[in-house]
Amino acid sequence: MKITEDTVKHVATLSRLEFSDSEIGEFTEQMGNIINMASQLQAVDTEGVEETVQVVDRDTVFREDKPEHWQDREELMENVPEKANGFIKVPVIIEKDDNE
């Protein structure tokens, strides 16, 4: 499988990351090498083999759905980068033009 600059740009969009042109070039080469290494896995015969996505020996664990009060709003807001009047501040979400 060939990793192209377009593949890298597409994956960057999925990852919510942006790169400079020189970084794109570097990542394309490195990802190509890593994917090339990962392609070795195609050589393994996995016909009829189940997937392992976790190694827990318990089934789905249920608990009572009871509310717990353990944090103050003020405390929670302390890590917020930009805030106003007790709310989290973000740039405009809906551009004016969208409504016109």
Q: Which residues bind other proteins (CB under 8 A)?
A: 1, 7-8, 10-12, 14-19, 27, 30-31, 33-35, 37-42, 44, 46, 49-58, 60-61, 63, 70-71, 75-76, 78-82, 88, 90-93, 95
Q: How far apart are CA 26 and CA 29, in angstroms?
A: 5
Q: Which residues, other chains included, contact 2 with Cβ-Cβ below 8 Å and sequence gap of 6+?
A: 32
CB of 11 to other proteins, least distance (A): 5
Give the pair of three-digit tokens for residue 55: 């190694």
CB of 95 to other proteins, least distance (A): 7
